[in-house]
Amino acid sequence: MAAAGGTPPSPQMQAAMQQLWTQTVDRVKRDVISPSLWRALERTLPVVFEDNVFAVGLQAGDGQLAGTMNTGEYKSAIERAMRAITGDNALTFRVIEGTSYADWEYAKARDAAAASQQRQATQKRTVEAAGFASWDEIYDQVSRLWANSEYRALASGKARFIELALAHVQKAMETLMPEGGKTNEQTERGLSRVIERIASMTGSDATLVACLLFQRHGAGKASSGGSGGDAA
């Protein structure tokens, strides 16, 4: 009985939907004793039966009644009644604002926009999490490097560790930071956390450690991109 998406219901389909909805309302009234639900059901009009979704609509002034029908217990009762009548166990029930097919199209467009935003947000969180995981890995590597360093109590040992740690971080920057582009806040926070870890372990100033890293990183890029001519 459900129609394919994208096509307004024909007059025959509208009549069949009204008959199904009338039977559903009568059945729900027998099964559920709730005057508030009954009033809500009586204010609705069937809009579309499309892709196993039976949508009913409410006029703008009756929008508050949607909450009653969307209550978990009541929505389940409506769907059970409709499935029993149609034999379609995949049927779902929905309430929209408005009673025309154009209102249904608007509701679907709004759903699609919300789903798109959700996908984008999920992708963003995934990218951010991956960035943090990568910097967390560098953080752990630097910590292990410190644990295996010799003469950590001496300035010379700390200096050697800083050299090795900065070489490690510089290599990570080549992969995790865009070439010639702007970094985002997550990348900067991940990098800063590693720098602060190096500074903490060696009793150094984090800003000075960062300066040493950026000088090293800049010199590395210059040497890889420069011509390096011989002295006269």
pLDDT means over runs of 10, the chain (232 residues): 71 95 96 94 95 92 88 95 95 94 94 88 63 77 91 92 92 78 82 95 95 84 50 36
**Predicted pLDDT at 228:** 43
**Predicted pLDDT at 227:** 42
Strand partners, 54: 49, 93
159 and 191 in a single domain? The answer is: yes
Cα separation, 38 vs 51, whole angstroms: 26
88 and 155 in a single domain? The answer is: no
Residue 230 lies in a domain: no
Joined tokens for residue 195: 């720098």
Domain region containing 62: 11-99
In the chain, the number of structural domains is: 2
CA 81, distance to chain mean position in Å, is 35
Torsion of Cα atoms, 9 then 25 then 96 then 43, to 10° = 110
88 and 136 in a single domain? The answer is: no
Give me the residue label for tokens 């005057």. Answer: 35
142 and 179 in a single domain? The answer is: yes
60 and 131 in a single domain? The answer is: no
- 67-87 per-position pLDDT tens digit: 999 999 999 999 999 999 999
Cα separation, 33 vs 30, whole angstroms: 7
Residue 197 lies in a domain: yes
**Predicted pLDDT at 84:** 96
Question: Across the chain, which distance is largest between two alpha carbons, in Å?
Answer: 102
Joined tokens for residue 71: 């209550």
CATH number at residue 57: 3.30.300.180
Residue 231 lies in a domain: no
130 and 217 in a single domain? The answer is: yes
- 102-137 per-position pLDDT tens digit: 999 999 999 999 988 888 877 666 555 555 458 888
3-state secondary structure of 59: coil
Residue 165 lies in a domain: yes
20 and 56 in a single domain? The answer is: yes
